Amino acid sequence: MKRDYCIPELSVLRLCLADVLRCSGQLDDYDDVIYYGELS
Amino acid sequence: MKRILSAVLMVLLAFSATGLLAYADESVPAGSVASITTSEGQKSYYPSLADALKVLQPAAMYDGAILDILQDVTCAFWWDGTVNQSSSNVIQSANVIINGNGYTVTVGTDCGNSSKNFLVFPNGVQINDLTLVLLSGGGPRFNGGDCTLNQVNITVKDVTGVKGGVLTDGTTGNPSKAFVTFYVGNGSSSAIQINGGRFAQENSGERVVDGKAGIADIDIIDASFIGGSEFRMYSALSGSNLYVKNCYFDKSFITGGTTNFVGAVTLESSIVLASTAVGSGIIVNSGIWFNTRNKTVSIYGENGLGCFAPELISMQDGASVRLHPETSGIRFTSDISEKMRELAGSVSGMTVEYGTLVVRKDQLGDVEFTVDSMTAAGIKFVECKAEAGMDENGSAYRAAIIGIPQTDYGNDICARSYVRLTVGSKTVYLYSDYSEESNCRNIREVAGAALQAHESGEITYSEAELAILRGYAAAE
């Protein structure tokens, strides 16, 4: 699985976006996820 | 042509017979490397850092002056190589302020192991926001008066014989082969404060800190000391106190001359990687002491203590978009340093957990972004433990916040990386650096930036992904 997914910094934001995620097709499953409601 | 001649004439007039650019107004002459503003507010510009420093040499005339560095500087010598540090006569003007303004000064391309390359401040100085790279020779030396370093980084490259550093009242002795030195020779009262900064010795054969301290109070807050052979204060007169808070020492801490150090050494919320156990005379009120020789660790202070550890754990600036079709959201990514992974794998009896603290910015307010502070303030936050989000190398992990209601697309979410260490019944948190600018984002702005990247051709998204991004960016 390709995990070197970060692209160079764009303006002030470092965007580790999903273009290469399509290579594996599943990389966005590999986040630890919390629900926004847990913060309120 | 007249304009050209006029411009040339202006430049020629600007350089006086001494080679200085001197202007009294706010215009900045081309090629200016530094400026000096007197305590009366008169400003002059100089074509080299050495020229500006020489102006500060005489006593009294420029007391309280401000030297601003206006660009990155590379110079063979601080000075002209004729001033020996032992004469302590370089910058005689008292209490000058040097503003690095974020620039880097690289010194010592042509002086080798020369004690003539120190920059000596015998009468107090404050240096702000400056990075020094020492290729050879020595760094700034503070021989008297009060010295304050705010966000000053010093890196000594891989050369032998580098001398110099931070010291005060250094009228006797000659600390050698170190670049940060605490030194008080004759018992004059002085104070040294180091706020922030990173002090790195890339030549492992030399000391990080070498010092003789007499009557001086030394406070070091939020600083990192990397590499070198040891951090040392020795041959002290009574009365010195070294107070260390939120600092990181990656090598050794107060070894060698410990038996000669008379003053008190107190550590708060700091991390020490040393080849020895805590030495006598050192009080660790709180923090972590890794004995790298015995591969053991000791945790001090209250349970749940937090330590600032940007050398061990860090969070990437900004955020990204999780483009999962059913569970999209905003993502923060953390990096685990090689040193942290080395410690985790080598220190016995220590449980290591990585994770991400997540909180809404409007709820965090001015409260410190730590577990204990937020808990005490009753703030709702989440410790998102790294599990599925850990990469296969164990060097990075990701946490995503999903299910954000449309009404909150513009609300910032803040994140901070942590390492949770447990030894026996003791737990301590190591935290990454944190700032709102770097670590707070809302899904609308990040999605908007992603769409801009798509429109500029930097990234290509599928229609399905674009629909997700537009859903966040366009919604009000």
The verdict on B173 and B35 lying in the same domain is: yes
CA nearest to B196, candidates B227, B220, B180: B220
Residue recorded with tokens 């409601």: A37
Residues of A with Cβ-Cβ distance to B449 under 8 angstroms: 10-11, 13, 15
The verdict on B404 and B462 lying in the same domain is: yes
The verdict on B31 and B127 lying in the same domain is: yes
Nearest CB neighbour to B449, from listed A11, A31, A35: A11
Beta carbons within 8 Å of A1's beta carbon, 6+ residues apart: A24, A26, A27, A30, B392
- Give the span between the Cα atoms of B58 and B76, in whole angstroms: 23
- Whether B213 is in a domain gets the answer yes
B348: domain range?
A: 313-474
* DSSP state string for B110-126: S--S-GGG-EEESS-EE
- Whether B1 is in a domain gets the answer no
Residues of B with Cβ-Cβ distance to A4 under 8 angstroms: none
**Every domain of chain A and the residues it spans:** 1-31
In a structure prediction context, what are the per-residue pLDDT tens digits for chain B, which is 476 residues long?
Answer: 444 444 443 443 344 434 444 444 568 899 999 999 999 999 999 998 888 888 888 878 899 999 999 999 987 766 554 444 444 447 889 999 999 999 999 876 554 444 445 677 778 889 999 998 877 656 676 667 788 999 999 887 755 554 444 433 333 334 444 455 555 444 455 677 889 998 887 765 554 444 444 456 778 899 988 876 556 555 445 556 778 999 998 876 665 444 455 567 889 999 999 888 887 778 899 999 999 889 999 999 999 999 999 999 999 999 988 888 888 999 999 999 999 999 999 998 899 999 999 999 999 999 999 999 999 999 999 999 999 888 888 999 999 999 999 999 999 999 999 999 999 999 999 999 999 999 999 999 999 988 988 898 888 888 888 999 999 998 76
- Whether B423 is in a domain gets the answer yes
Residue A23 near chain B (CB below 8 Å): no
Give the per-residue pLDDT at B140. 72
> At B396, which CATH number?
2.60.40
Helices B443-455 and B463-474: crossing angle in degrees, nearest 10, is 130
Secondary structure letter of residue B270 according to DSSP: E
The verdict on B238 and B370 lying in the same domain is: no
For an interface test with B, which of A4, A7, A17 has the most B Cβ atoms less than 10 Å from its Cβ?
A17
Paired strand residues for B373: none
Among residues B257, B273, B301, which one ends one of the domains? B301
Helix (H) or strand (E) holding B377: helix B371-377
In contact, B314 and B417? CB cutoff 8 Å: yes
- Whether B134 is in a domain gets the answer yes
The verdict on B380 and B450 lying in the same domain is: yes
What value of ipTM does the predicted structure carry? 0.75
Q: How many domains does chain B have?
A: 2
Residues of B with Cβ-Cβ distance to A24 under 8 angstroms: none
CB contact under 8 A, B316 and A6: yes
Residue recorded with tokens 């966040």: B472
The verdict on B332 and B285 lying in the same domain is: no
The SS3 call for residue B336 is strand
- On the CB side of B80, CA atoms within 13 Å amount to 6
Among residues B280, B301, B322, which one ends one of the domains? B301
Among residues B273, B301, B329, which one ends one of the domains? B301
Give the per-residue pLDDT at A29. 60
Give the per-residue pLDDT at B193. 87
Whole-angstrom CA distances from B375 to B84, B286, B359, B372, B380 are 55, 19, 12, 5, 8
The verdict on B227 and B353 lying in the same domain is: no
Beta carbons within 8 Å of A29's beta carbon, 6+ residues apart: B324, B388
- Whether B21 is in a domain gets the answer yes
Residue A26 Cα, gap to closest chain B Cα (Å): 9
- Whether B4 is in a domain gets the answer no
- Give the span between the Cα atoms of B244 and B284, in whole angstroms: 10
Beta carbons within 8 Å of B113's beta carbon, 6+ residues apart: B136, B137, B160, B161, B162, B163
The verdict on B144 and B220 lying in the same domain is: yes
Nearest CB neighbour to A31, from listed B316, B398, B465: B398
Give the per-residue pLDDT at B240. 64
Residues of B with Cβ-Cβ distance to A22 under 8 angstroms: 462
- Give the span between the Cα atoms of B204 and B220, in whole angstroms: 22
Mean per-residue pLDDT over chain A, rounded? 53
The verdict on B413 and B291 lying in the same domain is: no
Give the per-residue pLDDT at A17. 42
Burial class, B44, CB count within 10 angstroms (exposed 0-12 / middle 13-18 / buried 19+): buried
Q: Which residue of B has its CA nearest to A18?
A: B323
Give the per-residue pLDDT at B251. 74
- Whether B6 is in a domain gets the answer no
Whole-angstrom CA distances from B342 to B258, B312, B337, B352, B438 are 28, 10, 9, 12, 27
Residues of A with Cβ-Cβ distance to B462 under 8 angstroms: 22
Tokens encoding B463? 């229609």
Is the pLDDT score of A2 beyond 50?
no
Give the per-residue pLDDT at B412. 97
Radius of gyration of chain B (CA): 26
Residues of B with Cβ-Cβ distance to A34 under 8 angstroms: 358, 382, 384, 399-402
Residue A3 Cα, gap to closest chain B Cα (Å): 7
Whole-angstrom CA distances from B295 to B283, B298, B312, B337, B400 are 21, 10, 17, 18, 35
Paired strand residues for B313: B336
The verdict on B34 and B152 lying in the same domain is: yes
CB contact under 8 A, B408 and A36: yes
CB contact under 8 A, A3 and B396: yes
Using 50, 70 and 90 to split pLDDT, how confident is the model at A14? very low
